[in-house]
A and B are shown apart, each in its own frame.
Chain A
């Protein structure tokens, strides 16, 4: 018990917590994944999914199916469930639920800006945006030439506005600046979300702090590995790490100067929670690192359901659904490419 949430939580949050726990019971099980992994074609996958909660979303899709279609339709289900919860939520839960979508908003902004830089049609780009990250003036992003204009014309009226203070420049948008903008925005978003959860206090603060700290640490590792061999300087790399998490600050100092995957491993193995992740990998290997991180994340998200009267279950459910959609995407790709032997490389079982 933290702050006597049991006395007051159900007044405003009890109904939605029951709803989200009901949604959780609809997540695919290991038996479902085993059936899906044995499918011979995307039509077979559609047939198996028709017996799940994804059935109504896929039943009207014409043949031939594509993997992107399966992912889009499954995402629509997640979006519908999210909107049902959001429209019935009161403060502060409604703000908490909105925070969950800011990451997708950042991805959509970067997608539009990058696509415009590459002279792509705005309508084409809007179709590829994540539905959870849409906002009213998103199409206007295409007219901005630099970050100052991005902020002034569009983003000043969006929830991302406070996150722009660290990356407003008048430099023209190019690939490197866009990448730095993406990571700077996400860093600011994570830190803001962390502070918000800390303010909520109680079980929500405890559980969400753990989950968000893991997210920050994982991003630090991914930024490090992805920037090896690129033009990103050590100082710039260090600036992209979030200012919280288990690795903050000493782990970040060491990660900033790492030049290969083995040095990253050396840094991470000093932290007991991450020893188990890197013990699954052989030296010099980074291919299975993503799966190891996803497995650890799923474990922490599932544990959040063991407690009641907190908002962490909503975040956990959204993330678990996204993991499930990633699983379905991977299984579909392996089936479509006739590479079923590799299907277990990236599928993370949730139950």
Chain B
């Protein structure tokens, strides 16, 4: 009787260890997929930037036009510790994109993720390695402040404002490059 009890316990231990190993392998798979996706997105962004430079000319897109005046970051990441039960705290991520430079407290696109949510999103969606990963991540649950239409318009305005250092009339390739790097930023959060 005692030996069967010990046998059940050891089976439970083994099964728990197996679960841990499987969870670790899942995380590794997720991590590698995300890294692959991020690398692909950034490569695309750099090539689009080179394409914009080819189209608009080197005098319109170069590092000497970058604005050295002080301005607030348009995208910020805040990490807080939140209580998830007795003796347990989980990190809580808040990504704020395209905050208005005129009114920084008004955040136009805000995504809040607890660690559990992030793990759930990863395990549900990441069984394949392809470049659609990043667009899927971005499409998943940002919580918008304000009505959806006004948030998009204002975010678009902030995007245009950040590109204005290269001129107001810029090539669609430069805008595409901006979107690629923005997607890469979100992917980095998940990594």
Contacts and interface: CB of A to CB of B under 8 A. Distances in A.
Q: Say which size band chain A's interface belongs to.
A: 35 or more
Nearest to B67: A118
Interface of B: 43, 46-47, 50-51, 53-55, 57-60, 62, 64-69, 156, 160, 164-165, 167-173
A339 B43 contact: yes
Given A183-B169, A225-B172, A229-B156, A329 B65 contact: no
Interface stretch (A44-52, A125-133, A242-250): A125-133
Given A329-B58, A339-B43, A176 B68 contact: no
Residue with the greatest number of chain A CB neighbours at <10 A, chosen from B57, B60, B167, B173: B167
B59 A111 contact: yes
Contacts of B46: 337
A347 to B, nearest CB: 10
A179 B169 contact: yes
Contacts of A330: 50, 54
Nearest to B47: A339
A120 B69 CA distance: 9
Interface of A: 68, 71, 107-108, 110-111, 114-115, 118-120, 124-125, 127-130, 175-176, 178-179, 182-183, 222-223, 225-227, 229-232, 286-287, 290, 326, 329-330, 333-334, 337, 339, 342, 345-346
Given A119-B69, A333-B50, A226 B59 contact: no
A119 B68 contact: yes
A118 B69 contact: yes
Contacts of A227: 169
B156 A290 contact: no
Contact of A230 (B66, B165, B169): B169
B167 to A, nearest CB: 5
10 contacts: A107-B60, A114-B167, A119-B68, A176-B164, A178-B168, A223-B169, A326-B54, A329-B58, A334-B50, A342-B47
Contacts of B171: 222, 225-226, 290
Given A114-B65, A128-B64, A226 B172 contact: yes
Contact of A175 (B51, B156, B164): B164
B57 A107 contact: yes
Given A226-B170, A333-B47, 16 more contacts: A68-B58, A107-B60, A114-B65, A118-B66, A118-B165, A128-B58, A176-B164, A176-B168, A178-B168, A223-B169, A225-B171, A232-B169, A286-B172, A290-B171, A334-B50, A339-B47
Contacts of B54: 290, 326, 329-330, 333, 346
